[in-house]
Amino acid sequence: MRKGLLIILFSITSLTLKAQSFTSQQQQVNSAISKFFDGIAELDFDKMKGSATNDIIILENGAIWTMDSLTSRLEPLKKMSYKRTNNLNFIKTEIKGNTAWVYYNNIADIIINEKPRNANWLESAVLVKEGEDWKVKLLHSTTIPKTK
């Protein structure tokens, strides 16, 4: 029993360490994702648009959004007391040519009008290289239900 537990702990530790080791190019891809979510946290729509392709598609729990539908949804927050802190835990980043695939866990602490909430998503994204910059083309987000 003890040996089995040690093997499981070693495997989890190995996966965690592997997930945290990214090449310079992979870090650039991950930074593009971070910049996109920084734009959401800051309600800076130009920053969001600058880190995404013009035809970005966001799949959010069964709904299909564009940049316009996302910014329309966020716009009312500009009139409220709003603070968001993102914690992105990158699991895997793959690059082939000018396309990248990223898998990560996104935990956000959000305060709207002094009411805190926490959200957790498992997300994947496809990015393409435009010039020297990586841009988010597709973002797929699944909410992870809270455990009691």
pLDDT tens track for 80-112? 999 999 999 999 999 999 999 999 999 999 999
Task: Check residue 7 and give its pLDDT.
Answer: 42
Only one residue has tokens 């949804």, namely 73
CA 59 to chain centre: 12
* pLDDT tens-digit readout, 41-80: 999 999 999 999 999 999 998 899 999 999 999 999 999 9
CA–CA separation, 53 and 128 (whole Å): 8
- Answer for the pair 45, 64: CB distance below 8 angstroms, yes or no: no
Instruction: Give, in words, the CATH class of 23-143.
Output: alpha beta
pLDDT band at residue 24 using 50, 70 and 90 as cut-offs? very high
Provide the Cα torsion 8, 9, 13, 14; round to 10°. Answer: -40
Model pTM score: 0.84
Task: Check residue 148 and give its pLDDT.
Answer: 64
**Rg (the chain; Cα; Å):** 17
Task: Check residue 66 and give its pLDDT.
Answer: 97
